[in-house]
Chain A
Amino acid sequence: MSVLTPYRSEISSQGDGFAQLLRAEWTKFRSVRGWVIGIVVGGLLIVGLGVLTSANSVCSTASVSPHNRHPAPRACPAPATGPGGGWVSDSYYFVRQPLAGNGTLTVRVTSLTGLYSNRGGIGRGPNPLAGMTPGVQPWSKAGIIIRASTARGSAYAAMMVTGSHGVRMQWNFTRDRAGIAWKVSAKSPRWLRLTRSGDVIRGYDSADGRRWTLVGTATLAGLRTTVQAGLFAASPGYTVTTTSVGTASAVGGPTLATATFDRLSERGTWPAGRWIGEDIQGRTDNALPASVQGFTEDAGQFKVSGSGDIAPANSDGPGQSSRTLGGAFAGLIAAVVIGVMFITAEYRRDMIRTTFTASPRRGRVLAAKAVVLASVTFVTSLIAVAITIPLGDHLLRANGNPIFPLPALTLLRIAVGTAALLAVAAVLALAVGTLLRRSAAAVTVVIAGIVLPYLLAVITGVLPVSAEEWLARVTPAAAFAIQQATPAYPQVDATYTPGTGYFPLAPWAGFAVLCAWAAVFVALAAVRLRRRDA
């Protein structure tokens, strides 16, 4: 009898490690020409559409008239920039005098009233207040303020009474702390106090002028010895938003707030010794002209009327850097197609049997595919986004658009987040492709799950706002919150809906919703892959 020795390969059998699986999947990916072309096309679409949209976004203040239909463009003015770097509204009436060194300012507020036009706009003719109705805005504010200077956007801390948000301490535009609630009136006056020591300013409030409560402590970095301190009044532009189905139509205009102060007392060194009234007005802010603002002083009683707002300015419009990333949606569709085909092509060509014969542990094959796909998509789209943002910003600036100065970390979050969003979407597509095995259905499910909710919630305005918010919270499209540049500030009344670019979830929370969807589908796909014949 002869003994048959079975053939054994010379190659040592170590091919079962995860590294080998990754290498096998990477080889599959890079050797299919269509997929490599697809991912490159996706990247080019991100850059190309970003350039196309930025190059055609023109901001100009030049007015079109019948005899000059195409005037030479004039760049739009940029709003003032606050100490934190973001755009701010900084228009108010300031009754001030310099304060040298440390000191304290105390005052009693006995009333806050206002005027607005319920038809929108301002009165025609010489008197802008003609035809206005009495009424105070929710965030009309008046009180005491300490500022580094009168320059727009300079550092400040203020104690104030507001139209319907009680006493507040606010500083450096974005910070806001609540004090005594309820409205101010002659029967229930509010006492406000600011004390300065170095660059630390403390705000106190009191209902009787005897028992004081600390509301907040602000540190204004680098505050010089001499600061400007005094009384102020401001009233933000109002909008009456008729929120119908999605599309909100708004009428609005500037408003006026008038506050009555008494028992004004100063401690410390106040070299000027008298109060000067000044209207601080920005070019881009929604405020009434200086002629209707002002102050009177009569036997220790001050009446101060002001218009405008001291608050962060919202940044909708093309000035946001994420506004150049419209092409990410095209890149997303490319990534979804490749993600689906990465698995369905194996079924169509029966390659899947070879794959599973070589590596019988199916879950690991899926994991290897996911890792390769996510890495390739992430790297490609990050490169594309890193090219698009500076290039798009440059084109936008050249077209007269002021660019919202984003902090570096926010910009990094938008860029990395967008690339990660595409990578996770590709993994979700891979999982859906594994479950359905049919590429057309899988591609449609993923696109209808991510792009369509975004389209319905943010773009078209066909849905009621409640439905828009539900879509932007629950569907994978919630992940686009990662591109939101500025938060919704509670101290600014604006329409914060997905349609105006404000997502109901925080950036990373929104991204986590997409990750959860991907995780669920990957788990389902892994189970299905094991239970079902290939």
Chain B
Amino acid sequence: MSASSVTPRISQAWWVGPRDVLHAEWTKVRTVAGPGWLLIGAITLMAAVGAITANATRCPGGSCHIDPTKVSLTGIYLSQAVVAILAVTSFSGEYSTGMIRLTLTAIPRRWQVLSAKAVVTSAATLAAGLVAVAASLVVGRLLLYGHGITPAHGYEALSLGTGAVLRAAAGSVLYLVLIALLGLGVAAAVRDSATSIAVVLGLLYLFPIITSFVGNHDWQRHMNQISPMTAGLYITATTNLRSMPLTPWQGLGVLAAWAAGALLAGGVLLRLRDA
């Protein structure tokens, strides 16, 4: 051994602040091809499914109960699954590659990791959601108006100038953000990507299916009130609001409660368990 010793290079920033954590997480999202493709996929699928549905929506006899906003936003049923993949893999991907140990060595405060991931994933989803919702509404307006489903025939106008449509549009973007947070929380708790995504999609899709198998209206109503997808998507409705068991914002609140619960469970388990 030679006498010369190697002095490790000490970074200038010896204290890791919230900005550095955010920066690190943003770098992870930015430098992998997956998230970008998933966001593009979410936008495309949302607009495409909305277009197909709007194109199939006809009312030859007039006086159908059509909610143009809801029809245009049908794609959200599919694009939420893509958003869920994005959120789940941002956590479970680190577990499957072992990256998580490096992350937690660099940032020992685990809550910070979870919060930073939540901020970055939400921001990415928010941006994609805005584009997706706007594209769906534009395509829906073109096709539905082309089929005579216009305000002149007594239907709700499909324009952001209408309060209800603006609420539905903004709410749908928030809905996607909350789905991302739900996925992140579940992935932090479950770790395995296949199981996490199955839990998220099971929560979303199974609730309404199981509800339909219960032959009791009181029970169906209660299950709809706590179902994350059914309650959350009340935000997309602009007509017939009285027939829903919750108001649109209450419904979104139910989904927010699910997301908060999942994040809390994920955060606690992240802190308590070995990585």
Task: Report which A residues bind B (CB closer than 8 A).
Answer: 34, 49, 52-53, 56-59, 242-245, 247, 249, 317-318, 323-327, 329-330, 333-334, 336-337, 340-341, 344, 348, 401, 438-444, 447-448, 451-452, 454-456, 458-460, 462-464, 466-467, 470
Contacts and interface: CB of A to CB of B under 8 A. Distances in A.
B85 interface: yes
Contacts of A318: 213, 215
A428 B53 CA distance: 27
A447 B81 contact: yes
Given A340-B194, A344-B194, A447 B77 contact: no
A337 B209 contact: no
Given A59-B215, A444-B85, A329 B193 contact: no
A464 B56 contact: yes
B56 A53 contact: no
B84 interface: yes
Report the interface size class on chain B: 35 or more
A56 B216 contact: yes
Contact of B81 (A323, A337, A448): A448
Contact of B214 (A57, A249, A334): A57
A249 B197 CA distance: 36
A431 B197 CA distance: 18
A421 to B, nearest CB: 14
Contacts of A441: 85
Closest 4 CB pairs of A and B: A326-B213, A318-B215, A57-B215, A439-B194
B27 interface: no
Contacts of B66: 244-245
A344 B78 CA distance: 24
Contacts, number: 140
A462 B198 contact: no
Given A340-B194, A441-B85, A444-B85, A463 B215 contact: no
A336 B209 contact: no
A242 B64 contact: yes
B210 interface: yes
A337 B214 contact: no
A330 to B, nearest CB: 6
A464 to B, nearest CB: 5
A33 B78 CA distance: 32
A401 B214 CA distance: 12
B215 A464 contact: no
10 contacts: A245-B67, A247-B65, A326-B212, A326-B213, A329-B205, A438-B89, A439-B194, A448-B78, A448-B81, A452-B81
Contacts of A333: 198, 201-202, 206
